[in-house]
Structure 1
Amino acid sequence: MRVALVDYDSGNLHSAEKAFQLMGREIGAEVQVTSDPDIAARADRIVLPGDGAFPACRTALGEVDGMAEALREAVLDRGVPFMGICVGMQMLATTGHEYRPTAGLDWIGGEVQAIAAPGLKVPHMGWNDLVIDNPHPVLDGISTGDHAYFVHSWQFCVADPAHLLAHVDYGGPVTAVVGRDNIIGTQFHPEKSQDIGLRLIANFLRWKP
């Protein structure tokens, strides 16, 4: 199995690479950080991380020649399992509103809106309890009350409630996991979420949509 972690200068991918390598070892997965659209297109699993502001990440992804097209063909046309992490998950939305309205990939309908948490600090940073909304194979062995690690000020508000797989409570519900078909996205960082994050990564690598 070939796993592509898409590199578009969105931040340090070292910890994500190590986590995917660790969980992929048992199944012989080859994990490669790449900015080459041809490598991404040939992968059996694709991971799109992201750190920073939505507009900057979306612009940076678009500036990697051929990458957006390769991802669309692999994920939407051929059904390659895909995971977005943090802003990589937010970019699945129709539109992001950080700083200015910015078109997302529109693979899962919805808007990226500022977290409204009166009386609480934003960014939402640290450990929080997951609440599972819709069961999913990538969440096997993960239960309501399990902890994951978050660092973000904006959240993905899905248009279809069926695409909300998990949330946390931070002055109200805040999206934690979204998904549909062969696409999954986590607002939290699985590579920083210890056992729960590693379980999610292992489930994703074994997932057969």
Structure 2
Amino acid sequence: MKIAIVDYGMGNLHSVTKALEFVAQADAEIILTADPAVVASADKVVFPGQGAMPDCMRELEASGLKQAVLDAAASKPFLGICVGAQLLFEHSEEGNMDCLGVFKGKVIKFKPENMHDEHGQKLKVPHMGWNETFIVQDHPLWAGIADKERFYFVHSYHFAPAEPHDTIIETSYPNRFAVAIAKDNIFAIQCHPEKSHTAGLQLLRNFVHWNGKQ
């Protein structure tokens, strides 16, 4: 089995690659690639991303990988991570730009003027560090991961899905919002599983063995 990690020049690709190699062992070949043909031929696809959304979208289009990503999202087990997950929505407030439109909804900015903790202290943006996650719906990629497990986050924008049934996992900062969404063969997550120790590795291990069905 071959799992392609899409390299369009935007992402913590070394960490994602090493984490997937660690959990896959001999069960899958992990391929970091900028070649649309390799993405098309892979059995599963991982779509990471870091940085500003306009830069990511520009590089995705310039690399020729945009259509390969859309085709993969339509046809095989597909994992979007961080900005790679955000790019799957219809629109982003970052850069006021249209995205890939795989999920209905948009990506919106945290508004720090309205964000305070339980002690009345202002919360910082970006949202950075370890946060509890709350299970909204069961999903094969969350198998073996407990409710309220902590994952690592770094982001200033967050998901606002238009379809409530797409939300699988939420967190709070300070209000609840979606951090993992899924439909059919696609799972997309805002936090960084490759930086989230045991729980993150379990999610990636689940993806290696996932058949793309919920």
Q: Same fold (TM over 0.5)?
A: yes
Give the count of matched residue pairs: 204
1:171 counterpart = 2:170: no
Give the alignment's Cα RMSD to 1 decimal.
1.1
Q: 1:138 aligns with which of 118, 141, 146?
A: 141
In structure 1, the residue matched to 2:7 is 7
In structure 2, the residue matched to 1:206 is 209
Distance 1:196 1:83 in 2: 16
Q: 1:89 aligns with which of 74, 85, 88?
A: 85
Amino acid at match of 2:68: A
Aligned-partner SS, 1:62 = helix
Distance 1:110 1:152 in 2: 18
Distance 1:68 1:115 in 2: 27
Amino acid at match of 2:182: G
Q: Deviations over 1:110-140 (max 9, x none)?
A: 1100023512001000000001111111111
Distance 1:126 1:174 in 2: 16
Q: 1:71 aligns with which of 69, 91, 95?
A: 69
Q: Deviations over 1:67-113 (max 9, x none)?
A: 1112222331xx21111100000001000111x32111111111100
Distance 1:71 1:11 in 2: 15
In structure 2, the residue matched to 1:112 is 107
Distance 1:150 1:204 in 2: 20
Distance 1:144 1:177 in 2: 13
Distance 2:108 2:72 in 1: 28
In structure 2, the residue matched to 1:154 is 157
Aligned-partner SS, 1:10 = coil
In structure 2, the residue matched to 1:182 is 185
Consecutive unaligned residues in structure 2, runs of 5 or more? 116-121
Aligned-partner SS, 2:146 = coil
Aligned-partner SS, 1:197 = helix
Aligned-partner SS, 1:141 = coil
Conserved 8 A contact 1:178-1:185:
yes
In structure 2, the residue matched to 1:39 is 38
In structure 2, the residue matched to 1:80 is 76
Distance 2:143 2:60 in 1: 31
Q: How far did 1:17 drift?
A: 0.3
Aligned-partner SS, 1:106 = coil
Consecutive unaligned residues in structure 1, runs of 5 or more? none
Q: How high is the sequence identity, in percent, across the aligned residues? A: 40
